[in-house]
Structures are given as structure tokens and as C-alpha cells.
Structure 1
Amino acid sequence: MTTTQPGPTKTQTTSSDVVEMAWDPITRIVGSLGIYAKVDFSQKRVVECHSTSSVFRGYSIFMKGKDPRDAHFITSRICGICGDNHATCSCYAQNMAYGVKPPHLGEWIVNLGEAAEYMFDHNIFQENLVGVDFCEKMVKETNPGVLEQANRTEAPHAADHGYRTIGDIMRALNPFEGEFYREALQVSRWTREMFCLMEGRHVHPSTLYPGGVGTTATIQLFTDYLTRLMRYVEFMKRVVPMHDDLFDFFYQALPGYEEVGRRRVLLGCWGSFQDPEACNFSYRDMSEWGRKMFVTPGVVVDGQLVTNDLVDINLGIRILLGHSYYQDWEDQELFVTRDPLGNPVDRRHPWNQHTLPQPQKRDFDGAYSWVMSPRWFDGTDHLALDTGGGPIARLWATALSGLVDIGYVKATGHSVLIHLPRTALKPEVTFEWKIPQWSNAIERDRARTYFQAYAAACALHFVEQALAEVRAGRTKTWEPFEVPDEGIGCGFTEAVRGVLSHHLVIRDGKIANYHPYPPTPWNANPRDVYGTPGPYEDAVQNTPIFEENDREHFKGIDIMRAVRSFDPCLPCGVHMSLGRGKVLKKLHTPTAAPEPLAQ
């Protein structure tokens, strides 16, 4: 059994040692992401990288004219992986546009659903997808010397997770055969069940609406959730130390490995888990209730917190084109000139974006991707923020802000403390995620493990709050609303792999403009109009090559680890509308009524 994707395509040798290579499609995700790189084998380094998306995304086009109350059902179908994140974010945007505040219990249920989604998706990606990059079979194919060392290296936290050596951990991660790989699949079932208890269906919620949820809240409902959650909490007490041992080993075994996938610290987090006590979804109060989220929003530049104000974050978003397959909208209509606080709104803000596709042949000197180039404008520079796959940005922004303190989780200003209570087989434990030295492949993956524990700890708090509401007789979960003839709204949350925003404009009671911006455009974008590479491109360029294979047998594992550390997901880039429909081929035109079927 091979554990790697098919080897890279060698397109052209540009010198005796620099070779053009392509990984298209990148495996273990939806197959519309391609990485095109030039590798200098004499220097063992990637010297150039381009990230491409080969399929058009058209939701912003066919949302126009729809009833805004359908927005969350439609945008949920953007993705078959994180559809519930889109539905949630759309409901947040609608709540703002309609001026509706859901009941407290409704928001606790939404939080519990989102926490279950984080636990589910991060678990299955970390253990069953990205984990394969670190398994025994993969390491044997690419770095046999490292595997030999792993088999000789005692795992420092063996008593916590049960694997004596690092080699044993790698064997447990082997796909389909490894003990831990199979266990993680079972765990993903618990977390999916937890989500369905709260929102009816995964991944397209059936009980989630603007104004709250249609879920019937009972003591039994939350007890069923809690029993599964406690199993997951016990699981995480093994997972965190196991991954710490594995990732620390790579730094030890391969000095300089911190440079793989490393880029400047430019992280964006839009915040997650609303506090019903603070959040009224009013734009005028967004700065205040945004800071009360249980995952704090923030922009982190060179390790420093620039802002955790959602109004500032919103107004700073710019959508640039650069090397993407679209026409400019410089001469198009402005939908929103000022926000509800009177601040000017830029033409390149999502509220004012027009999507004008311009298909053409791929040209790395011209246009080469269907992904636009979102940037965050700090008043001077258009910053190419990334999400780091989601968790590293969330934990970094939360840690620096120092605002979260709910017993189970606490932000200290330089770290995040995660307290997991006693479970059936293990005592209570407190993990500390510390702000790392680098934003690189290993630290993105490590943060994903810690955020699984963070989401579980938050869910324990949410269950307690939801049960308190039910026991007090406050069982209302939905608030009625009316759709205005004119209105605007914006929703901010964190999809599993990072920042997610939905911007909505209503005219004559219908959607006039709608732009969802998930993590993929922020991470996978091409060079912008200023020539700034997108985050995938930036993270891969200059990545050193530690793989032991020669040029003829090169797998590109270090490049794949760099890209997959961002948890790439391209479903958000694979949709198109044919308008009213188009007959592609007429197979049969009946001339008479069909004969009845035989009984």
C-alpha cells in the first residue's frame, strides 16, 4: 500500500539542478488545488511556488435575487465539509440585517453544534489525513533514516498515551492498519452524533435558522451530548501528549525543520462562540460583543496583536484580483458607502464586490487561479493574512487578548490554559498552549491538536449553561423576526480551518449582494496586484527539502506537509451556476404517453 499521492509531475528542467514540479491535484482534499514549484536539488530548497484553483466559484452570483431567509440553507451547500459553519455565519449576518437577537438557549445550542464540528473535523483531518504525512509508511518512503531514529527514541509522555517509542506512534498512524488511525475514525462518529443532537443533521443543519434554532431542548438532549463529550475529553488526554512527542521529535531528528512551511506571522481570526449575555448582533455594538466571544477575534502581525475589534477587522477587508480569472469591478455600482457607524466602506470591501468571471488559459505571468486575493488593509499595507489552518490563529489571538476566562479555558496574555476534568479512566489535567516561536508546518499541526482540547473544554461550559437555562424553565430557542425591505448585515465566525465572513445586502426584500469569504481564499490565493504571494505560495517558497530521496524518486513530502498544515479545503471553490439551466443533450422526446408499467 502506498501512502503518498502520485509523485510530482516534472514539467521542465530549468537548469542542471532546478526542476519544475507540479502536484495537481493535491490529494486528501477535493481535487481542485494544484501546487506548481521549482525545486533546487543542489541547495535542497524550493525556490518558487504558485498555488492554483482550477474550478470556478459562483455563489456570489446566484445568491442575487434570492429570499434572504434561504441564505443559510443555500450557502451551507458551499461545502460538504464545513457547511454548518457557513450556515451559522449566514444566520449571524441575517440576525444583524433583521435586527433579531436569539434567546440565550438558542445560542448555547449553536455553540455546542459548532464545538462538535471543530472536534469532528479537526480530529478526522489531524489523524486520518494530515497524520498520514507522519506515519511509519510515509516516513519509511521519504526519510528511512528518521524512522530508524524514531524506533530508537523513547516517547517522553509514553505513560500518558501508551506508545513506548516515537516509532510506535508512527505505526499507530498508518492508514487503515494503525491502531490510533482506526480509533480516531470511531471518535469522529461520537462527535458527528453530538452535532446532530444539536442541529439535526451534519453537515447541513436542519434546525438552524436566523433568530435561533428549532431544536427541542431537554435535559435528556444535553445529557446525551455530554456523555459523548466526556469520552472525547478522555481521548484528548492521550492525543495532546502524543502529538507533542511526535512533533518535538521532528525538530530533534531534523535540525532546521522549523523552516518547513514557515512564513512571517500574519494571522487572522474572526472569533467564534458567541456569548449570549453580550451578543445582540447589532453592528453598532459589534466591537463590544466581538471581544466577549469565547474565541477572541484578532489580527496578529509579527507576533503582536494589532486589533481585536470586529469593526476594524470588517472595515480592513479588501478583495484584490491580481493573478485571478476575473474582471475588475472598478466601474460598477457601490452597494454600501458607509457602515452603520458612519465609517466609509471601501470599493474593494465584500459589501461592494462584483464577481465578473473571465475564464482564460493559465499563465503564471498573468492569471492562473479562480481564487481571488483577500487582504487586510492596516492603513498602510495590504497584508496577506493566513489562518494557519485555523487553530494557530485562534489560539494566538485569544492568548494575546487575554480576555477569555471561564474556568475550563483561560487566556493568559502569552498562552492558553485548557482544563479537562476527571473522566472515567484518567484524572483531571491542564494543558497549556504556549505562543510558539514560528508560524510553520509543525506548529500549525500542533495547534490543531490543542484546539481540539480547547473546543471540548468550551463545550463543557456551554452544556452547563444550557442545562441551567432548561432547569430554570427558559426553554425558548427561537425569536421571530421580519425581513426589512432594505438592510445590510455581516457575520463573522471561524470555520474549522479559519476565518469565515458573510456579507449581505438586502434591497426590496431580496438579496442584492452576497459574499461569503471562507478560509480557502485567504490561504490559497495567488499573487495579488502588488505581486505579494498568497500564503500557500509564501509558505512553500524557500522551504528546505529534508526528504532523503533523490530527484528521480522525489515525493515532495516536505512541500505536502507545508500545504496540508493549513488544512486545505477547496469545496468552497467548486461551484458554478448555469443561470436558468441549459440543455446539454436531448436523449429522448416522447411522442405519446408511456405504456403503464407491468403489474
Structure 2
Amino acid sequence: MTATEARPSARKPPQIVDMSWDPITRIIGNLGIYTKIDFANREVIDCRSTSSLFRGYSVFMKGKDPRDAGFITSRICGICGDNHTTCSNYAQQMAYGIKPPPLAEHITNLGEAAEYMFDHTIFQDNLVFVDFCEAMVKATNPGVLARAERTEAARGHIHGYRTIADIMRAFNPFEGEMYKQALKVSRVTREMFCLMEGRHVHPSTLYPGGVGTMPQPTTFTDYLSRLLRVLDFIKQAVAMNDDVFDFFYEALPGYEEVGRRRILLGCWGAFQNSDSCDYRYETMNEWGKDMFVTPGIVVDGELVTNNLVDINLGLRVLLGSSYYEDWVNEEPFVTHDPLGNPVDMRHPWNQTTVPVPQKRDFEGNYSWVMSPRWYDARTGDHLALDTGGGPLARLWTTALSGRVETPYIKATGRSVRITLPKSEKLPEMTFEWHIPRWSNTIERDRARPYFVAYAAAMAFQFIERALQLIRGGDTKVFQDFEVPDEAIGCGFHEAVRGVLSHHLVIKDKKIANYHPYPPTPWNASPRDHYGTPGPYEDAVQGQPIFEENGPDDFKGVDIMRTVRSFDPCLPCGVHMYMGNGRTLTTTHTPTYGAGHGG
């Protein structure tokens, strides 16, 4: 189907059908997408994103010992709980005024690198790519599959598949070779994670002040041996994804409009640089820019800031179309940051969560997700930033900042070069991710395997630096501390699917206020009180429909590709608000699979 067929220049009388997918499959079942589709003109004309799960951690964290925050918040999620523990420890270290030893930072970075490799692989290859596999394309776009059978794969010399259809077959669920290989790689990368952080997905060795991991040389060589085992797969995955995504642009002219939205990307940075990071708020601008994934906000292709202080002060939590009471008339927890800058009442430090369960109303309130926004002081706009699924924003801000330069990674200002050493079957290879023209479905998905390569490349550096310390006799991995009577802290990190911040207020040595903000509230937010749609909504509505099926057997594959390109996850909370003092008792709580992402 061509772009002209999908969106004819002479518009036809509309044929509007209400269609919903609730819950969205292949993720935890709390996300619903409600649309109005004009089948005559082949486009989505309206979209609402809903969540049926109340995220209540900010309620029951109050009064807890702040040292427990990392262990509690890791339970927010069933697959990226370590990202929450890490981010919580960052916030606590700021509040306690401590800096972990360098070896502890390398161990934490190695654990997070393994998590990125694990999670991105299992999501991209076993969940996202099902929408692009032979079985799905045959059911939704048989004409595209026929063309794929005739199209040579440009990078076959890397991945070994002759045609695009051969690649699609390799990702067929439970049968395709790459689908099965991804499951094996996920097991190996999880083992790498456990070597550093003790247990997946709720770390047993990460603490504020450092780690409890025993820094034996074999700990790092065991990690390295596994990393080398997955390098061939990582190199092949980058090449296979590039081949398939390039093919979609060629086979379906106009497909760049699927999931396309204004370039509004946020990244909070990842991989602390132990040479400069002291966790002091007063120096956060300097050490934030030295992260090995550079934080930043990109608006219409321009890097607005990579200053974490600016990013922090611009955070706003709007209620919009969500099920909560407002708190702006309450007493603020924090009036000024440690640099003396005023802190807005809608900043996470000052948020109070008051849930108000109610019937869903698409003309009023319809989601448990609030509407995080970033206030752009240049224009006075509250921007509905998205994370690009995580990797797109991370690579984009790192590329534009041009600050990261290691033996394995170089940010050029226009691209990111990633060098992976020789592996079992393939030679040393350098992949270059270029800033794309669009922030759309294909580019969110394309960035993911590139960031797996990025995480693998950084892991080599962290291993080398850790072994240098050990050989020099520096094996310290923990720094003692005292919990202050009063303090504030903020942690900035990247969960697998994007921006993650934890904001902490301590009074009388207890938590007075605590708010974790994972990527999904940013991506899945409903319309705010300015009428601005959240990123899922914005990316889906207005997009063309290329699926060849009509309303009667419509699968919504283009819509599903768009939503899944953000790597959605709606759990980030494992309890329900029952109201009127009622409680819900269960006899079993699963320790894994409580949710995908955070």
C-alpha cells in the first residue's frame, strides 16, 4: 500500500469507527488505548491512553526509614526494579552528603549495563518484533511480505539472512531462530546482572553509600566471559533491525508518519563518572554532564539544556485528566533548592498524592496516570516530553552534547559511534547511530538495538577500570554515613524505557515526602489541563493506517507498533486503593513478572 492509498489527497466522507485495545497485550495488563479511526481516509483521528492501576508508593513511603527506600522502591516494578534502587540510592547519597568509592560506582554501572542489555533484548526481540515478524505481516500486509521475499538484505554479510522475509521469519514467536536466541541471550545477561547486583530484579547488594558485592577478580572475569558470548548476537541484531526498518520505509512510502510526533525528548543521564560525581546538588550541573549517557532535553531538534539543575527545576506534575485531588494550596515541603532557586509547588518535592477513585470519563478524568511536564522558561510552555522508548532520547541527547568520548564510544555532535571488539564469529565492528529526521515508531525501535551495543561497549570500559583498581589494591566498596535530621535529595537516572527521578524529603530522620517518577507517567500521561495530549495519545492520533484489513478484521498493527515503540509499562505500583479504610489481602505475591518496565 502506498502513502497515496493510505492518505488520499481528495478526502472521502469519513467512516469513523470507535476501536479500543484494553488491555494492550505483551505488557502488564493495565494500559488501554481508545481510538476513533476514519477507515475511509485511513487515519486515526483521536486517541486516549488510560491506566487502571493506582501508583501509590508516594503514599506509603511516608514515615519510613529513608535507608529502606531503595529496597521498597525496587518493588515498584517486576523487571527494572534495579533502576529504581539505583536511582533511590542516588537521591539518598545526595541527602546524606556521601560519595561511594569508585569501585562501587563501576559495579553499579556494570549491573545497570547488564540490565539494559537484558531488558532491551527481551523486549525488542520477543515482544516488539512480533509486530514485524512474518506471521504478523502476512496477516496485516501480505503485499509487503511478498515484496520482502524479493528484497535482498543489505547487511546479510553480518547477520547471515538473505532476504528481508528471512529476517522476519527469524522473529516468528517460539519458532524463529532469533526469537529463540534472544531468550538465551536474556538468560546470559541476567547472569551478568546477578554477578554485580546479587539478585534480579530486586537487588540484594545495592545500598546508599556503595555495594555489598565482593570485588573478586573472578567476579569481573565471569562477567566479561558472558559479555563476549553475547557480542555476536548484539552485532547481528543491530544489522537485522536496520535492514527491516529501512525496508519498511521503502515498501510503504509515508510510513515515517506512523507514530510521528514533535521532537520533544527528555533524558536524565546514566552511568555515573566516578572521577567527578560527588552527588552534591551544588555541583550537579558539572557531574551530571560527565555521565557516560549525557542528560538533556531536545525540543524540535535543539538541545535546550543538559544541566540537571535546570532539568530538576523545570519538573512539573499536572493533574490533568487523572483521578486525584490537587495539592497546590497545601504547605510546600521545599521552597528553595540548595542553590537558593525557588521550587514550584507542582515540583515532585512538593507533591501530595490524594487519590479519588471515580468512573472513567473521556470528557473529564480517565486515567490513574498524572501528567508530568517540563516547564520551558523560554516560552512558558509545559512540554509533554517523551523518552523515545528510552534509547532514542539517550542517543539523541548524547550525540548533540558531544561530550562522551571513551575507547568504545564517541559522541560526534551529529551521531554516536559505538565500537565493539572482536567476538567469536565477527570481527571488531563500529556502528554509527545518526540523529534521525523524525521521532517516530521506526526510529524509537531502531535506537533500541543500538543502545544494547552502547551498553555492551560501556561495560568493557567499566570492567577495565574496576580491574585496575583491584590490581592496585583499592577494593573499598562502601562509605559509612549518618542519616541527617533534615535533608532533601534527588536522583536522576535512566530506567530501561527512559527518564527516572526520585525526589526525597527527610524530616526527623524519616521520609516526609518521596516521589519516584519513572518513564511511563511521562509517556502514558493523559491530557493535561491545558488540553495537551500525552505522548502515546499524541503519537497515535493523526497517524495513517497502512494495514490492509478493514474494520471487520482490523488488528490495529500500526497503532500497536506505535504504542509498543515506547516500551510501555503500567505497573510501578503493587497495591490498590480500596477506600473507606478497607484492605485487600492476598495469599501470594509474585516476585517476578509483576510488570514489564517502570
- Whether 1:444 and 2:444 are equivalent positions in the alignment is yes
Moved more, 265-274 or 565-574: 565-574
Aligned AA for 1:505? V
Aligned residue number for residue 83 of structure 2 = 85
Contact map agreement 1:59 1:576 (CA 8 A) in 2: no
Q: Cα offset for 1:550?
A: 1.2
Aligned AA for 1:148? A
Aligned residue number for residue 56 of structure 1 = 54
Moved more, 535-544 or 573-582: 573-582
Q: Distance in 1 between matches of 2:106 and 2:584?
A: 47
Q: Cα offset for 1:423?
A: 1.5
Q: Distance in 1 between matches of 2:111 and 2:405?
A: 21
Aligned residue number for residue 6 of structure 2 = none
Q: Distance in 1 between matches of 2:92 and 2:33?
A: 37
Deviations 1:321-354 (A, max 9, x none): 1110001112112000000000000000000000
Aligned AA for 1:82? C
Aligned AA for 2:446? R
Aligned AA for 1:81? I
Aligned residue number for residue 331 of structure 1 = 329
Aligned residue number for residue 575 of structure 2 = 575
Task: Work out which of the residue numbers 211, 214, 217 in structure 1 matches 2:215.
Answer: 217
SS at match of 2:355: coil
Task: Work out which of the residue numbers 302, 308, 311 in structure 2 matches 1:310.
Answer: 308
SS at match of 2:168: helix
Within a 5 Å distance, the mapping from 1:188-203 to structure 2 comes to 188-203=186-201
Percent identity of equivalent pairs: 72
Q: Cα offset for 1:585?
A: 8.9
Aligned residue number for residue 381 of structure 2 = 381
Q: Distance in 2 between matches of 1:274 and 1:580?
A: 44
Aligned residue number for residue 116 of structure 2 = 118
Within a 5 Å distance, the mapping from 1:344-363 to structure 2 comes to 344-363=342-361
SS at match of 2:154: coil
Aligned residue number for residue 550 of structure 1 = 550
Aligned residue number for residue 563 of structure 1 = 563
Deviations 1:154-179 (A, max 9, x none): 10111110110000000000000111
Aligned residue number for residue 109 of structure 1 = 107
Aligned residue number for residue 369 of structure 1 = 367
Q: How many residues align?
A: 573
Deviations 1:500-531 (A, max 9, x none): 00000000000000000000000000000100
Aligned residue number for residue 522 of structure 2 = 522
Aligned residue number for residue 278 of structure 1 = 276
Structure 1 residue ranges without an equivalent (≥5): 1-14, 588-599
Q: Cα offset for 1:236?
A: 1.3
Q: Distance in 1 between matches of 2:555 and 2:585?
A: 42
Q: Distance in 2 between matches of 1:258 and 1:225?
A: 39
Q: Distance in 2 between matches of 1:116 and 1:178?
A: 24
Contact map agreement 1:62 1:579 (CA 8 A) in 2: no
Contact map agreement 1:53 1:573 (CA 8 A) in 2: no
Contact map agreement 2:54 2:577 (CA 8 A) in 1: no
Aligned residue number for residue 154 of structure 1 = 152
Per the normalisation by structure 1, the TM-score is: 0.94
Q: Distance in 2 between matches of 1:333 and 1:387?
A: 32
Deviations 1:254-275 (A, max 9, x none): 0000000000000000000000
Change (3 A) 1:363 1:584: closer
Q: Distance in 1 between matches of 2:435 and 2:260?
A: 15
Structure 2 residue ranges without an equivalent (≥5): 1-12, 588-598
Change (3 A) 1:563 1:223: same
- Whether 1:70 and 2:68 are equivalent positions in the alignment is yes
Contact map agreement 2:242 2:446 (CA 8 A) in 1: yes
Task: Work out which of the residue numbers 164, 174, 177 in structure 1 matches 2:175.
Answer: 177
Contact map agreement 1:119 1:456 (CA 8 A) in 2: yes
Task: Work out which of the residue numbers 332, 339, 343 in structure 1 matches 2:341.
Answer: 343
SS at match of 1:417: strand
Aligned residue number for residue 509 of structure 1 = 509
Change (3 A) 1:531 1:397: same
Contact map agreement 1:78 1:575 (CA 8 A) in 2: no
SS at match of 1:129: helix
Contact map agreement 1:212 1:478 (CA 8 A) in 2: yes
Aligned residue number for residue 11 of structure 1 = none
Deviations 1:433-456 (A, max 9, x none): 000000000000000010000000
Change (3 A) 1:586 1:187: closer
Within a 5 Å distance, the mapping from 1:256-295 to structure 2 comes to 256-295=254-293
- Whether 1:467 and 2:484 are equivalent positions in the alignment is no
Q: Distance in 2 between matches of 1:584 and 1:575?
A: 8
Aligned AA for 2:259? G
Deviations 1:224-274 (A, max 9, x none): 000111122222111111110010000011000000000000000000000
Deviations 1:53-76 (A, max 9, x none): 011110000000000000000000
SS at match of 1:319: strand
Q: Distance in 1 between matches of 2:286 and 2:94?
A: 15
Per the normalisation by structure 2, the TM-score is: 0.94
Aligned residue number for residue 489 of structure 1 = 489
Contact map agreement 1:91 1:210 (CA 8 A) in 2: yes
Aligned residue number for residue 420 of structure 1 = 420
Q: Distance in 1 between matches of 2:24 and 2:504?
A: 32
Q: Distance in 2 between matches of 1:20 and 1:576?
A: 29
